[in-house]
Every structure is written in structure tokens, then in C-alpha cells.
A and B are shown apart, each in its own frame.
Chain A
Amino acid sequence: MIAADLLVAQNIGFYLIAAIMVFGAFSVVTTRNVVHAALWLVVVLAGAAAQYILLAAEFVAVTQVLVYIGAVMVLFLFGTMLTRARIGTDSELNNKNWFMGIPVAVLLLATLIIALNDGFGDEQLPTDAPVVTTQQVSDQIFGPYLLPFWALSFVLLAATIGAIVLARRD
């Protein structure tokens, strides 16, 4: 009975956060102000971090807050500030035939919903799953996934060097 009550709370939390995230995502792709879009993206990313906590992934949630909301959003705001050309008008932000995106997105969503309903239906997530600890995650990264980790380090190095080379004035 206690577990059922707990699940109700989790469900309410999920749907509340999910509604906020979907609204925020809509605002990101429809707002006419680039800075507002960046701030709505913060709402979506924070909601995603909350969903990760609901999915018992605390380390990924903290990383999401640190990397996305901390670093990536600062980059986005800097990029917005440095490219303030003629922002503010809608014609500058959307393509001429932007409405073509609506049927594509709706068809894709319909296909995905049908496929997900077919595949998973009413399958429940395990309720008594233990929270994945940071130690388990690091055992994964530095154990079986060490080679991708090295590759990722080189990707980050190359991206850093590439960004510096691209953006410097000479």
C-alpha cells in the first residue's frame, strides 16, 4: 500500500514535469526571441534532469545540471550575444517554408506512438530497482567501456582545438 502511494506521487511528479518540459520545448521552437529560446531550453534541460532522478540515475542527473545548464547554456548565451545581427523579427528566425516541419513532425510522432504502443503497451518499470550509484557507473566507464572513453577524450580534445582554431581572429 505504501509502495502504491509512493508510485502515485511519482506519477504526479512525472506528468507535472513532463507537461512543463513539453511546453518549454514548444516555446524553444516557436518563440521569436533567441534569448527567450535559450531560457526555455534551460527549463527543458532541468526537467530532463528531474526525469533522470525519477529513473534512478542520480549521477547522470547531476552531470546534466553541471554540463548542460552550467556550461552549454553559457555557450549558447555567448553565441547569441556575439551574433546579435537582426534578431527579434520572425522572418529572420524561421525558414520561408517552415510549415513543412509540421507534417514531418506529426507523422514521425504518430509512427513513434504506434510503434511504442505496439512494443511496450502497459509494461511497468520495476518499482524496487536500486538507485544506480556513481561507483557502478564509473566501474562501467573504466571497465568494459574504456575504449569509447578514450575515443571520447580525443573527440573532446579535437573539438576544443577546432573551436579555438575556428573562432580566433588572425
Chain B
Amino acid sequence: MLVNQFLMLGAILFCIGVYGVIARKNAVLVLMSIELILNSVNINLLAFSLRNGSTDGHTFALYIIAVAAAEVGVGLAMVLLMYRNRRSVGLDELSEMKG
């Protein structure tokens, strides 16, 4: 198998995730797109780990999974707070700091 197979898959997933972050307005869907981005990075790390014959990439991938779990927890708590205060999870309605 080529190294590029996995790297290309990671690149495609990354770009789809970036598109989702830009295009989506619903905060939960933006968080899901961020998960796509983090997963593409994990695929890259593991591919490079296999290529270089080291286990460092596995450690980094596990740390990324842990950070992603923490991020989803805090992010969904913020979304919940936002919904409770203004009955909507649209990111364009958070415009108090726009001046």
C-alpha cells in the first residue's frame, strides 16, 4: 500500500471538515465537522507512524482522541447554555461582540 493512499484520505476528510466548519450555522454540526478534521489528522499520524516504524504517532493519536473528547464535552455544554439563553443554536446570532 502507498503512503499516499492514507494521506490523501486524510486530506479529503480534512477538506470536507473545513467546508463543514465554514458552511454550517448550527453549532452542533460545526462541532461534528471539527471531529472530521481531528480524525483526518489521526489517520495521517498513524500512517507516518507505520512509515517511520515508530510508535510516537500512536501516542499522539491517543492524546488527540482525549483532547477531542474534552473539546466535545465543553463545546456541547456551551451549545446547551446558548440554547437555554436564546432558544437557538445558530452561530450567526452570537453578535454581541461585533461592536
Contacts and interface: CB of A to CB of B under 8 A. Distances in A.
Interface of A: 7, 10-11, 14, 18, 21-22, 25-26, 28-29, 34, 37-38, 41, 44-45, 48, 51-52, 54-57, 59-60, 63-64, 67-68, 71-72, 75-76, 78-80, 82-83, 85-87, 92-96, 98-102, 104-106, 108-109, 112-113, 116-117, 120-127, 129, 132, 136-137, 140-141, 145, 148-149, 152, 155-156, 158-160, 162-164, 166-167
Given A55-B50, A76-B28, A105 B16 contact: yes
Given A28-B33, A55-B6, A123-B3, A78 B67 contact: no
Interface of B: 1-9, 11-29, 31-33, 35-36, 39, 42-43, 46-47, 49-51, 53, 55-59, 61-63, 65-74, 76-81, 83, 87-90, 92
Nearest to B13: A25
Contacts of A149: 63
B99 to A, nearest CB: 20
Which secondary structure characterizes the binding site on chain A?
A: helix
Contacts of A159: 70-71, 73-74
A109 B12 contact: yes
Contact of A38 (B32, B69, B71): B32
Contacts of A122: 2, 4
20 contacts: A18-B5, A29-B17, A29-B23, A34-B28, A37-B29, A44-B36, A51-B9, A55-B46, A63-B65, A72-B68, A80-B28, A93-B26, A95-B24, A98-B23, A100-B22, A100-B23, A105-B16, A116-B11, A124-B1, A159-B70
